[in-house]
Amino acid sequence: MKKRPADRIGQPEEQRVGFSFYTDDLKAVRALVAALRERQVRVKRTFLVRALAHVVPEDEMFAYALTRNRAEQAGKVPVETEINQCLAFNLLADDVDKMERVSDQLADKQLRNGRSFVLRALLHAPWDHEALARAVRKFEEKFPDPRSRAGRALKRA
């Protein structure tokens, strides 16, 4: 994990972290991106992962991960064994720490854990797409995607 200091004063520190994705995880990301697009929120999967890690409170993250663990143990959702893709994202350092704390809580309970598992639980959570769209918009206002027009304008400022 590389920590990258903020380019500008007042900008939060980012950390580049990798996640393992199974085929179903990639489908879930595509479905969330499509659901947001239907609500006039155009984001790429990288930005969606950043937003999910930030907008979901730690206790909700833990609840989603616990629910995913129970569903896997009960055989209600398939447990894939073959990783399809490993992707790296620049997340806010505080959000990485939040995911690590959730992972540690799961480990303390001797449940399946890890940042990738926590992200997987978020991707497969039963989202209210309208509420998620509002949350992603707010995140986008506060932390614009550096590849977007607004993000590039902030970099130049």
Residue range(s) defining the domain that contains residue 121: 2-156
68/83 Cα distance (integer angstroms)? 18
Contact 140, 95 (CB under 8 A): no
Task: Using pLDDT thresholds of 50, 70 and 90, give the confidence band for residue 82.
Answer: confident
Neighbours of 106 (CB within 10 A): 21
Task: Using pLDDT thresholds of 50, 70 and 90, give the confidence band for residue 21.
Answer: very high
156/23 Cα distance (integer angstroms)? 38
Give the pTM: 0.85
23/33 Cα distance (integer angstroms)? 16
Residue 151: pLDDT over 50 = no
The tally of domains found in the chain comes to: 1
127/38 Cα distance (integer angstroms)? 14
Residue 9 DSSP SS3: coil
Q: Of 20-24, 80-84, 125-129, which range is least confident?
A: 80-84
